[in-house]
Amino acid sequence: MKPMSRWMAVLGLAGALLAGAAQASVTVGGTRVVYPLDQREVTVKLDNDSRNPSLVQVWMDNGNADSKPGASKVPFVITPPIFRMDPQKAQTLRVMYTGEALPQDRESVYWLNVLDIPPKAANTTDSNTLQFAFRTRIKVFVRPPKLSGRPEDAPRQLDWKVVPAPNGKGQALAVTNPTAYHVSFSAIDVAANGRTYKNDSGGMVAPRGTGIIPISQMTGVQAGGKVHYTAINDFGGAIEGDATLTQ
CA trace torsion 62, 64, 67, 72 (10° rounding): -20
Check pLDDT > 50 for residue 166.
Answer: yes
Please state, in angstroms and rounded to a whole number, the distance separating the CA atoms of residues 134 and 202.
22
Taking a C-beta distance cutoff of 8 angstroms, is the pair 130, 16 a contact?
Answer: yes
First to last CA, the chain: 58
DSSP 38: T
Buried b (16+ CB within 10 A) or exposed e, 92-109: ebebebeeeeeeeebbbb
Closest CA to 67 of 118, 111, 97: 111
Domain boundary among 91, 113, 143: 143
Residue 233 confidence (pLDDT) above 90: yes
- 110 in a structural domain: yes
Domain that holds residue 67: 26-122+129-143
Over residues 197-210, the pLDDT tens digits come to: 999 899 999 999 99
Tell me: do 238 and 170 sit in the same domain: yes
Interval 37-58: pLDDT, tens = 999 999 999 999 999 999 999 9
On whether the CB atoms of residues 231 and 182 are closer than 8 A, the answer is no
Q: How far is CA 181 from the centre of its chain?
A: 16
Structural domain total, the chain: 2
